[in-house]
Structure 1
Amino acid sequence: METLIGGSQNISVLIKMGAKTNALIQDGQWWRLITPMFLHIGIFHIFMNGFTLLYVGQVLEPMIGHWRFFIIYLLSGIMGNLASFAFGAGNVVSAGASTSLFGMFAAFLALALIYRENRFLTELGKSFLGLIVINLIMDLTMTGIDIWGHVGGAVGGLLLGYALGLPGIKRPQMIFRILAVVLAVVISYYMYTKGMVVYG
């Protein structure tokens, strides 16, 4: 659809379709915290994110179930966009699923922390922690990358992964699940209110 109405690298098309721009969110277009994770800028961008989603999703989704997977994808993506809104450059137009992808990377880390005795999950957690660190280091050396979106997505995925755990297993304890959700809500609220401050 982006291509049909003018091109996925056309700034006006991206804005029309719902890309994240701080000024428009501050004007009340809150849905721009959700829609950017379904938009991409260029064929290479959507190919790389789609390939990563396939690679990670075919391991994570069967493990935690469809609904947990969807919740982590959606809410960690929103937390990533909130972090970009709060701490990123205000005049940048951003889009892409990488906020959600970082959330899924961090969900593996959460599972490794919860189920430390499971060697498979522990090794997965180590691998994805390394992937997060390497990608964040690369973000610092590249232009046009929204590092705050990636950081926020990872924080969201870690907290949500801890809150949801694995289906059918009563770990972690409910109090810790609730605390993880509360912390995610508090961090999200802080980032939203910080982003809503208009700097003169």
Structure 2
Amino acid sequence: MQRTWRQFQAQPWATYLFLLIQGLVYLLMTLAGGSENSIVLVDFGAKVNDLIAAGQWWRLLTPMFLHIGLTHLVINSVTIYFIGNQIEMLFGHWRFILLYLLSGFSGNLASFVFNTNLSAGSSTAIFGLFGAFFMLVTEFRENTALRAVGQQFGLFILLNLVFDVMMPGVDLAGHVGGLLGGFLGATVVGIPNMRLSVVKRIAAALIFMIAAGAFLWLGLNPR
């Protein structure tokens, strides 16, 4: 039993859990009328600014588990599988779960302020995982392996952001918000067996909380 438990703990089970959740949600949405149906999306918790302003705060979290169409689900799931494996093994299961949720929240919060359209998708959390990796690259510059992978991720993110700008309907604010939230969140939670400055961790926590409060105010008081 102990050996089985250790083997389970050695697997990126949190990554698999998030993939399972969004797969099941997609199936339920399909049965309810289709994941591209706006009514179904709203019923399942997509980001709708007016409803968030009316008090449905859970819509700052639930959109990260919804996807608009099969292609959207597959692309995001494949990305989560590969990047999630790496981030979860580096940060540990519970830190990874917290980072994923914080990133999705910060991305949806930024979208709440800067994007008036209905939106959904795990890309807010995915960009947060990239942000977490960049925290490691900047904090541990002497690690050549981290730096090499970080350069590859940097090119990937740059291409995605350029694509976001050029393609209408893509939630650029959500992606940037998730990226910054993941960077700050990773600085706060740290990584096992690697020391991070306490001052940096406290500063990152304060920046995250102040920014979240400011964004909530801006979203609730649009000009």
TM range (shorter): over 0.9
Overall identity of the aligned pairs, in %: 45
3-state DSSP class of the match of 1:9? coil
Map 1:21-100 onto structure 2 (within 5 A).
Answer: 21-88=48-115, 90=116, 92-100=117-125
Map 1:6-17 onto structure 2 (within 5 A).
Answer: 6-17=33-44
Stretches of structure 1 that go unaligned for 5 or more consecutive residues are none
CA distance in 1, matches of 2:187, 2:50: 33
CA distance in 2, matches of 1:161, 1:151: 15
Number of corresponding residues: 196
Matching of residue 176 in structure 1 with residue 200 in structure 2 = yes
Kept in 2: contact 1:36–1:96 (CA 8 A): yes
CA distance in 2, matches of 1:165, 1:120: 19
Which has the higher relative contact order, 1 or 2, with Cα contacts under 8 A spaced 6 or more apart? 1
CA distance in 1, matches of 2:213, 2:149: 31
- What is the letter of the counterpart of residue 185 of structure 1? M
Deviation by residue 1:5-45 (Cα, 9 ceiling, x = unmatched): 11100000000110001011111111100000011111111
The CA RMSD measured in Å over matched residues stands at: 1.0
Stretches of structure 2 that go unaligned for 5 or more consecutive residues are 1-27
Kept in 2: contact 1:106–1:129 (CA 8 A): no
Deviation >3 Å, runs of 4+: none
**2:153 aligned residue:** 128
TM-score, normalized by length of structure 2? 0.85
TM-score, normalized by length of structure 1? 0.95
- What is the letter of the counterpart of residue 179 of structure 1? A
- How far off is 1:129 after superposition? 1.9
Matching of residue 159 in structure 1 with residue 159 in structure 2 = no
- How far off is 1:198 after superposition? 4.4
Worse overlay, 160-169 or 128-137:
160-169
3-state DSSP class of the match of 2:31? coil
- What is the letter of the counterpart of residue 203 of structure 2? L
**2:209 aligned residue:** 185
CA distance in 1, matches of 2:130, 2:220: 28
Kept in 2: contact 1:111–1:165 (CA 8 A): no
3-state DSSP class of the match of 1:122? helix
> Larger % of helix: which?
2
- What is the letter of the counterpart of residue 154 of structure 2? L
Map 1:99-118 onto structure 2 (within 5 A).
Answer: 99-118=124-143
